[in-house]
A = this chain, B = another copy of it.
Amino acid sequence: MASTLENLSLQSKEDNIEDDVVDPWNVSSKNKTGIDYNKLIRRFGSSKIDDKLLMRIEAATKKPVHHFLKREIFFSHRDLHSILNLYEQGKPFYLYTGRGPSSSSLHIGHLVPFIFTKWLQDVFNVPLIIQLTDDEKFLWKDLKLEEAKAYECPSFYGNVLRIQKSVTFNQVKGIFGFGDSDVIGKIAFPAVQAAPCLSSTFPFIFGNEKVPCLVPCAIDQDPYFRMTRDVAPKLGYLKPALIHSSFLPSLQGADTKMSASDLNSSIYLKDTPKEIKNKINKYAFSGGRETVEMHREKGGDCNVDISYQYLKYFLESDEGLIKIEKAHTSGNMLTGELKNILIESISKIVKEHQTNRSKITDDDVKEFMTPRKLT
């Protein structure tokens, strides 16, 4: 198995030199249209989410699929068919996703996996684990370390150890590119990200039952789960299934993802309507032409236009989106108008988030952070 993993990663290294870099700590592309996700699927060895799979999801859940699926924002998977088999047989599974605290506020890109995970939780009616990996941010960045709550749960550390006993340095070297001068914290960390894929990490939820796990995540996190999928069977578990999203681009263009540490590339969930308006007007990369006349004549390019790209994520109405695409491409809609539509959409979502957030009490947070039986 080690050799399979190493082959995978050698292949990925070669590709990286030529174009896109996608790993848990770096995402960038040399192409103006951003990451080539089809190439990434081939490189990682995952499967494309095709129309047949979308139809199967609709049939199983008896609900229309989320627009993130229709628009290929969640575009790749591993073993999603196995999860649907379980669901159709009335057997349980659970969701696991996570977030590393990289700044004092989330940005709108961070919402993407959460919006989608909430949808999965609702349509499948299954338990959800959210892991907050402040330890990863401490090891890789200079973030201050606060209390590490997860370890309050002894079953968690037990499974971290079981995983750490099943993975060699050679393997993490192959998967993550670690070297001899990396600190031992980084080398050991992947097991922390892997542990929630084993249902025995949460005995207070699942008892002794071995319940399979589905992980919605951005595709840069795939290396962690390639490792986990290698380890899980050795510990008597099914491989975790995965469903991968693309990256919300930065305001500056599709060649990098939105980054919480770059103030001008991001719209934060605590931004005011004015800040949102200013950032989009000032920074959102435009696919429009240099002059109004040229734009009216030749039309804009939605493939590189950040406002249009963001609307693919945040404008639910399919007809609305098609209308905008046609109007911009034909030259009828100018960049300013397109930006105004985006400003309105994003402001609405951010305001809604802020309103909901203001209602959360310390007791709510405490309850969510306490290992407990789910009802």
Contact = CB atoms under 8 A, between A and B. Distances in A.
B158 A183 contact: no
A66 interface: no
Contacts of A139: 161, 164-165
Given A166-B183, A181-B169, A188-B185, A148 B158 contact: yes
A29 to B, nearest CB: 30
Given A138-B161, A151-B157, A161-B139, A168 B145 contact: no
Contact of A168 (B151, B173, B183): B183
A156 B135 CA distance: 13
A168 B145 CA distance: 19
Q: Which interface class (under 10, 10 to 19, 20 to 34, 35 or more) fits A?
A: 35 or more
A333 interface: no
Contacts of A164: 139, 183-185, 188
Counting every copy of the chain, the complex holds 2
Given A184-B188, A188-B187, A145 B158 contact: yes
Q: Which applies to chain A's interface (DSSP): helix, strand, loop or mixed?
A: helix
A174 to B, nearest CB: 10
A167 to B, nearest CB: 5
A58 interface: no
A152 interface: yes
Interface in A121-176: 135, 138-139, 145, 147-149, 151-152, 154-158, 161-162, 164-170, 172-173
Contacts of A51: none
Interface of A: 135, 138-139, 145, 147-149, 151-152, 154-158, 161-162, 164-170, 172-173, 178-185, 187-188, 190-191
Q: Which A-B residue pairs are the 7 nearest by beta carbons?
A: A164-B185, A188-B188, A151-B157, A147-B154, A151-B151, A148-B157, A165-B185
10 contacts: A135-B157, A147-B155, A148-B158, A151-B156, A152-B152, A168-B182, A169-B178, A169-B179, A169-B181, A188-B188
